[in-house]
């Protein structure tokens, strides 16, 4: 009886064949880059707070061969070939918001930091929801950096350095303001507690934990957040208003006791929204530390309570669960989830305003929760997630998994 192929082998066979059809030779190596879930710590990284992030079993899978020329050729199953001359990496404003900008930004920053870059041919496929809050862009950025790291830098560039290179590309070339949570979480892999107080040297603690009583379920509400950059920027601007009132650049450096004593007066000066977002920052930062302690103590019920408190704070104080005058699929999904889940939590996921919600559901309820949510949002848009031990990595030689293939 023929053994059933794993999902990994099925995906690898598909892109291996596609690489051959496009480049007329078989690829050498396999790389992968996972999506991520922001477990708790919503919108804290850009003000140097703490977060908890985990990589998941949704990923970009790529087959690659190095070349001797000065070109990177990138092809996917969904988009035409991208060709980039690595000797011409200057910023082009017209390319903002494109994959070309991300690749060029990563290569440019690597060169600026004294690392080597070179040519290669890449073919990839992904099962990460695009534009829905599980960091397809950060997975892509980390993938490009890791390919360059493996082929041209003897794999000596550490995970957090690769994350910062990715962040540079997204902020300066792609033109999207972002913290370091997504890129760092994916570069590190697994579940990580990250303290961004010193953003140049974040403190990280990997958490080896397998959830026994709860499942993570992600729901794509089918609204893309890719056009909501201004909404994310406003959160940063509002927090900056309060920090600047105290002559600080980031809320992490503001004395929260003074802030809470003065918040009513601050609301008159700067508005309820800005003050509410600052309140969220201070309270969420403490929740992250409590959630970390709960996992260390194997207390999943307390962990679930903290996740729900985080979600409620994002909804009521951070206000990133809806956009005025837009379809409110995300808050509808949250409220529907609350009507189903009796034991667990549900919250906005990632940047918010549109995209995905994350449910932390007791194993007794998860099957029914998934069934109901799929009725409303479609089978492919509701998925139980497993935490992946790996973020972005070199997987191995294609031949190791597929054997020698005969040229057609």
For residue range 286-333, list pLDDT tens digits in order.
999 999 999 999 999 999 999 999 999 999 999 998 887 666 888 999
Distance set, CA 340 to CA 242, 309, 369, 371 (Å) = 38, 17, 7, 11
pLDDT of 362 reads 97
The residues pairing with 40 across neighbouring beta strands, listed in sequence order, are: 52
Handedness of CA 348, 286, 319, 362 (dihedral sign): positive
Alpha-carbon gap, residue 403 to 265, rounded angstroms: 69
Alpha carbon of 204 to those of 159, 186, 199: distances in Å? 11, 13, 11
Instruction: Please identify which residue in the block is written with the tokens 């103590």.
Output: 297
Q: What is the pLDDT of residues 72-124, one digit of tens each?
A: 999 998 888 999 999 999 999 999 989 999 999 999 999 999 999 999 999 99
Per DSSP, helices labelled H in 24-158 are 99-112, 136-152
Q: What is the DSSP letter of 80?
A: P
Lowest mean pLDDT among 142-151, 207-216, 226-235, 368-377: 226-235
Cα separation, 137 vs 313, whole angstroms: 26
d(CA 122, CA 82): 10
């Amino acid at each position: 009886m023929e053994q059933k192929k794993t999902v990994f082998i099925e995906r690898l066979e598909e892109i291996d064949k596609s690489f051959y059809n496009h480049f007329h030779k078989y690829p050498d190596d396999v790389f992968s880059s996972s999506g991520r879930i922001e477990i708790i710590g919503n919108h804290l990284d850009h003000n140097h707070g703490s977060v908890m992030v985990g990589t998941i079993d949704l990923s970009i899978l790529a087959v690659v061969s190095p070349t001797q020329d000065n070109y990177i050729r990138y092809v996917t199953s969904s988009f035409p070939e991208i060709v980039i001359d690595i000797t011409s990496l200057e910023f082009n404003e017209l390319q903002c918001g494109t994959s070309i900008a991300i690749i060029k930004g990563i290569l440019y920053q690597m060169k600026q930091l004294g690392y080597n870059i070179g040519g290669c041919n890449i073919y990839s496929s992904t099962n990460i929801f695009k534009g829905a809050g599980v960091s397809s862009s950060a997975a892509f950025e980390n993938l490009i950096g890791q390919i360059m790291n493996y082929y041209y830098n003897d794999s000596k560039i550490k995970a957090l350095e690769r994350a910062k290179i990715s962040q540079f590309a997204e902020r300066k070339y792609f033109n999207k303001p972002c913290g370091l949570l997504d890129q760092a979480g994916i570069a590190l892999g697994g579940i990580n507690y990250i303290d961004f107080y010193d953003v140049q040297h974040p403190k990280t603690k990997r958490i080896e934990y397998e959830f026994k009583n709860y499942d993570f379920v992600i729901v794509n509400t089918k609204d893309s957040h890719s056009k909501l950059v201004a909404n994310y920027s406003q959160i940063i601007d509002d927090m900056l208003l309060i920090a600047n009132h105290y002559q600080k650049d980031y809320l992490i450096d503001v004395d929260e006791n003074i802030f809470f004593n003065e918040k009513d007066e601050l609301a008159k000066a700067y508005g309820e929204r800005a003050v509410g977002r600052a309140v969220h920052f201070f309270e969420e930062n403490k929740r992250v530390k409590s959630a970390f302690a709960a996992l260390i103590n194997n207390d999943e019920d307390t962990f679930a309570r903290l996740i729900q408190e985080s979600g409620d704070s994002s909804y009521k104080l951070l206000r990133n669960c809806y956009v005025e005058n837009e379809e409110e699929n995300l808050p509808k999904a949250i409220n529907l989830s609350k009507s189903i889940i009796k034991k667990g939590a549900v919250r906005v996921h990632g940047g918010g305003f549109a995209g995905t919600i994350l449910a932390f559901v007791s194993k007794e309820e998860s099957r029914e929760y998934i069934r109901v949510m799929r009725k409303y949002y479609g089978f492919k848009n509701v998925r139980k997630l497993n935490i992946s031990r790996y973020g972005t990595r070199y997987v191995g030689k294609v031949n190791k998994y597929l054997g020698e293939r005969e040229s057609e």
